[in-house]
Amino acid sequence: MAKESGLGMSVAIDDSGGTARTISNDITSMDWATPREEQDTTGLDKSARERLQTLADFTVSNSGVFNDASNMSHDVFKTVPSSSVARTTTITISGQVLAGELFYSDYALSRSSSGELTWSAPGALSGGAVPTWA
């Protein structure tokens, strides 16, 4: 596989009804991570650390431009404050897919002094399934 940019990636996030909505056009930046916890198991007889890998996680931080057109970002996130549902989040880059069930904890809107209306929406793994690239 050759080195590639992140251009042309696709992001789909479920609305509160469970329907996947591709909102890539509204997202201007995105960070995601798939960290693993570690348990320190170093005994008194050791001179270096011993660790076990434990729980896996998946988090995302999305930012974008406000769009209240039907089935776009505002439709997807406007129910975050009023619903407690996990949303399938699917990131696709060059045929590589990372999907997970995430809880979104905020849908924050911001209007700058120049008039820009933007949003941010952080999500974290909800269902206990290990995030795996396919």
Q: CA distances (Å), 33 to each of 53, 61, 74, 91, in order?
A: 16, 9, 24, 12
Q: Answer yes or no: pTM beyond 0.85.
A: yes
Q: Return the SS3 of 78.
A: coil
- Tens of pLDDT along 33-89? 999 999 999 999 999 999 999 999 999 999 999 999 999 999 999 999 999 999 999
